[in-house]
Amino acid sequence: MVEIVGRDGQIGVLEALLDRACDGHGAALVLRGEAGIGKSVLMEHAVRAGRKRGMRVLSVTGVQAEVQIPYAGLDHLLRPLRPGASDTGSPYRLALEVLELLGENDAPVLMAIEDAHWLDVSSWETLTFLCRRIEVDRIALIMAVRDGEDIDRRLAAAGLPELRLEPLGAADSRALLDRTAPGLPLALGARVLDEAAGNPLGIVELGAAAGREGGSALLPSALPLSTRVEQTFAGLVAELPPLTRDLLLIAALDDGGDLDEILAAAALATGADVSPDAIQPAVAARLVTVDERYEVRFRHPLLRSALRQQAGAGDRRRIHSALAEVLSHQPERRLWHRASAESGRNEALARELTEAAVGASERQAIAVALAAVSRAVQLSEDPAERGRRQVWACDLAASQGDAVTVRRLMAEIDESALRPADQARLTWIREASLGDSWSGSERLLAYADLIDTIRRDGQPDLAVKAITELALRVYYSSAPAVVRDRFVGVLFALGLDDDDPRLTVNLLQIAPVEHGATGLERLRRLVHRMDLPAGRRMELGVAAFAIGAFDLARDFALSSAADLRRQGQIGSLTKALSTAASAAAALGDTRGALPLAAECIALAAETGQPTWMLGGSLVAALAEARRGDVDAARRRADDAERVLVAARRFPMLALVQRVRGVAALADGRADDAFRQLMRVYDPADSAHFPNYELLMLGDLAEAAVRGGLLDELSPVVSRLVPLAAQSRSPALTVGLAYGRAVLTGDYAAALADDLADWPFDRARLQLTYGASLRRAHRITECRPLLRAAAATFDALGATPWADRARAELRATGETRRKPMDALATLTPQEQQIARLAAEGLSNREIGERLFLSPRTVSTHLYRIYPKVDVSSRAELARKVTSSDVV
């Protein structure tokens, strides 16, 4: 084995990673650095070291020509384990399938990925998602990437540990040169070292070239090192037979590495039979290898790029045309080569690419769709169709959060050629993706006008899509009546049927008071419609929360989450989890809310959804405040306030104020709680948010009665009575019942209402009523109320409220012991796993629900059992059941 110069520290890191993986502590690592810095050499060392440890090695090299083909890289990587292609669905579901596939054999696994920056997006997302889920698997995953802005963005989103390779020092550089090009004159060697600047590949290749050709090999010195090394490789290729050079160029332009495929394309390009022996001179020159599966691999990526850059346009098109013919049995790959071979405008081919882009978009392969529609733009003959495709490209880039690409694409559009609907759509995308403001009546009115323009131009589906995307923004913008009415008018003009769920989704978010009553009736009819797509049920959950139908919101969101998990739609799943957690927290169920919020935050972070990360954190804060962890709740509230104020999303400060108000209630500071919560109800306050007035009156009324501030509560209650009559908001109805009870003292009437779906609010009534009876010395009457309240609060995990109920009972002379909460010692994820295990799900089924490997689930259960003092699933189920609400 050749000794690697100057990389002892990095080798130690890699070998430690392999040792940990063999011991069942899987991990991933990214090798980063400029071209030629030594990533491939270290990767080869890791592969050899892995094999010495008995690891099964799976390897692949990213190829630039494959970046548009979903799962091309992953399929190459997994080819030794399975022959078929990957499903083109969700990378997140596929990541779990890969974990299961790797776990079928107990041998440790090393996944070695060279040039990961050239992996297609689907493979990248699958592998990086997998990287974050192998902590207890016998898997090591090493990716080598070249520096660049694109990979910076990818790695920032992936959040994987990195090992950066820096240039070699002077002593190591000299040692490497002496080993690879001995006998160079001192002055010439110094020039090589100066030009290479510590880059190992530069030292090796420029040193070898200098040994052959003298100082002329280092000219012109103004060129970048990578270009000069490419020229060195190109010089080596020039010495090969013409047919071998053709084969190498075909291999460089191919989006696969199959030798037979390359030979067949060469035969078509040259018009003669080509023997497999024709590749042998390149193998002998150590420019490529041909493995046991007859896959051609380049010695270094710079050789591939050198071949592509030096080939003339005519030669590249001729080879792409030959590859397209060879790949007639693979329509998707064939289309890309046909598109690359086309020399001019071709509207028919542009339409084919556009259709391919539609298919890719539907399966969430957005990067593939963007690449296809961008090439379709280049091939377009009709200016209006070209403009429509350019606008769609902007929309696709915006959906990825790539503002730089959006700006570049917009600058290329000839807006004078756009049809009216496309002009309207472009304006909407520009404002939505590049705007720096969240609210504003004029902007929202402009959006409504744009959507109406799209409708009148004959694109109703696009108009519905646009208004649905905007509805939640309207909800959280405290939009005045003129804006709400305009959006409602546009929505009705779309002519949706009364039973169309999209009508309900939009009406309840845009105008929850004005259309709450009819919307609520529709929600109750739709909640049992399991034929609705999971994404639509998620949207209905959001709408149900907007009107304060928390029980319906939770049902819609949880039912959709089950299907969204199975489908691997992580973006929509994050929203469903946020909605379910929000509903649980609003109902006072901290045990249900915290695990859902934790998963929401984790998935939002993994998929780059900062808005839903923030929302999940505020939900977690509300649940933490309810259970008495007020310091954690306040920290989250403070962090959220900084973000919201900076973005001028002032209505959302109502969520912050609710957390602070509930935390103050939990802390026993009722006066402070009332002041915090009243900010939401004060039109002069920056945190004023009319829509949230419907949702949190119960907390305000509790603060008022505990703080002796009923006179200030009374006008708020009076003002909200007509809103309740109009909207029929369940949350407002329940809140008003409690508010009236504390103002009039008639608690019996409020308790007579059906509050089966509102256990926290029922227990709050029981506690407040029981406390008033205790103060009136009506001991016999108050005790059953206080016992019931304490039991419910304990079951919900609302510890401060349960403690208050027990304190009131003690004042009557009755002692009620505080129950032991075994699950309180578990993390939110452990609580989730414990509950699923208690429901009878297997480790595999739990893993599918939570995007974890069965081995990871097993490890968590191994840690959970001693924490809750059980030794079996049956005992765990009894523990969990004893903590749940009956």
Measured CA distances, 163 to 322, 381, 501 (Å) = 41, 48, 50
Whole-number Å distance between alpha carbons of 213 and 388: 55
User: What value does the mean pLDDT take over residues 838-844?
Assistant: 82
SS3 794: helix
171 alpha carbon, distance to own chain's centre: 45
The CATH number of 822-883 is 1.10.10.10
**CA-CA distances (angstroms) from residue 130 to 60, 87, 491?**
16, 16, 42
For position 747, what pLDDT does the model report? 92
Task: For residues 676 and 658, give the distance between their C-alpha atoms in angstroms, rounded to a whole number.
Answer: 7
pLDDT over 70 (residue 244): yes
pLDDT at 151 over 50: yes
Binning pLDDT at 50, 70 and 90, where does residue 672 land? very high
Q: How many CB atoms lie within 10 A of CB 498?
A: 8
List the domain boundaries for the chain: 8-164, 170-222, 236-341, 347-435, 749-818, 822-883
| Angle, CA of 172, 173 and 176, to the nearest 5° | 85
Query: And the tokens for 391?
Result: 């606008």
Q: Which of 249-253, 629-633, 725-729, 880-884 has the lowest mean pLDDT?
A: 880-884
Whether the CA torsion 276, 282, 283, 288 is positive or negative: it is negative
pLDDT digits (tens, 9 = 90+) for 76-119: 888 888 766 665 557 777 888 888 888 777 789 999 999 898 88
Given this chain, do its domains 8-164 and 822-883 carry the same CATH topology? no
Residue 469: band (very low, low, confident or very high) from pLDDT cuts 50, 70, 90: confident
3-state secondary structure at position 746: coil
Residue 293: per-residue pLDDT? 84
For the stretch 321-352, pLDDT in tens is: 999 999 988 888 899 889 988 988 999 999 99
pLDDT at 442 over 50: yes
**Residue 840's pLDDT band (cuts 50, 70, 90):** confident
Identify the residue with better confidence: 150 or 171.
Answer: 171
| Side-chain half-sphere CA neighbours of 670 within 13 A | 14
b/e code 857-882 from CB counts within 10 Å (16+ = b) = bebbbeebbeebebeebeebbebbee
In DSSP terms, which residues pair with 33 in a beta bridge?
146
Least confident interval from 145-149, 219-223, 551-555, 801-805: 219-223
Q: Would you report the helix, strand and coil content of the chain in percent, each value rounded to 5?
A: 70, 5, 25
Q: Express each pLDDT in 707-755 by its tens digit.
A: 999 999 999 999 999 999 999 999 999 999 999 999 999 998 899 888 9
pLDDT in tens, 285-317: 888 889 888 889 887 766 777 788 788 889 889
- ∠ CA 67-69-72, rounded to 5°: 90
Q: Tokens at residue 867, please?
A: 């924490």
Map residue 65 onto helix, strand or coil: helix
Pair 563, 847: CB distance under 8 Å: no
Give CA–CA dist 551/532, Å, rounded: 19
pLDDT tens-digit readout, 187-220: 888 888 887 888 888 888 888 878 777 776 666 6
pLDDT band for 2, please (50, 70, 90 cuts). low
The predicted structure's pLDDT at residue 458: 86
User: Quick one: CA dihedral 822, 824, 825, 829, positive or negative?
Assistant: positive
- Reply yes or no on whether the pLDDT at 318 is more than 70: yes
Higher pLDDT, 157 or 692: 692
Q: What is the pLDDT of residue 886?
A: 35
Q: Helix or strand or coil: residue 293?
A: coil
801-822 per-position pLDDT tens digit:
999 999 999 999 987 776 656 6
Is the pLDDT at 264 greater than 90, yes or no?
Answer: yes
pLDDT of residue 436: 47
Q: Let me know the angle formed at the C-alpha of 401 by 395 and 407, rounded to the nearest 5 degrees.
A: 60
Instruction: Evaluate if residue 422 carries a pLDDT over 50.
Output: yes
The domain defined by 8-164 folds into Rossmann fold (3.40.50)
Query: In what helix (H) or strand (E) does residue 728 lie, and over which residues does it extend?
Result: none
- Statement: residue 844 has pLDDT above 70: yes
Quick one: pLDDT band at residue 224, thresholds 50, 70, 90?
low
Q: Which of 128-132, 378-382, 422-426 has the highest mean pLDDT?
A: 378-382
Task: Output the average pLDDT for the chain.
Answer: 87
pLDDT grade for 689, boundaries at 50, 70 and 90: very high
Q: For residue 885, what pLDDT is reported?
A: 42
162 phi, psi to nearest 5 deg: -125, 150
More confident residue, 445 or 405: 445
Provide the 8-state DSSP code for 135: T
Contact between 679 and 688 (Cβ < 8 Å): yes
CB-based contacts of 77-86 (< 8 A; 24+ apart in sequence):
77/111, 77/113, 77/123, 79/293, 86/122
662-665 LR contacts (CB < 8 Å, sep 24+): 662/622, 662/625, 662/626, 662/633, 662/699, 663/625, 663/630, 663/633, 663/634, 663/637, 664/703, 665/625, 665/699, 665/702, 665/703, 665/706, 665/800
From the list 139, 144, 68, 86, the residue with the least C-alpha distance to 113 is: 144
DSSP readout, 541-607?
HHHHHHHT-HHHHHHHHHHHHHHHHHHT-HHHHHHHHHHHHHHHHHTT-HHHHHHHHHHHHHHHHHT
Residue 435 confidence (pLDDT) above 70: no
Query: Is the CB of residue 221 less than 8 Å from the CB of residue 247?
Result: no
In this structure, the chain runs to a length of 886
Task: Say whether the peptide bond before residue 185 is cis (omega within 30 degrees of 0).
Answer: no
Q: What does the pLDDT average to over 547-558?
A: 96
Q: Which pLDDT band, with edges at 50, 70 and 90, does 271 fall under?
A: confident
What number is the average pLDDT over the span 176-194? 86
Structure tokens at 530: 């399991």
**Res 237: pLDDT:** 84
Give pLDDT, residue 301: 67
Is the pLDDT score of 186 beyond 80? yes
Per-residue DSSP letter, 143: E
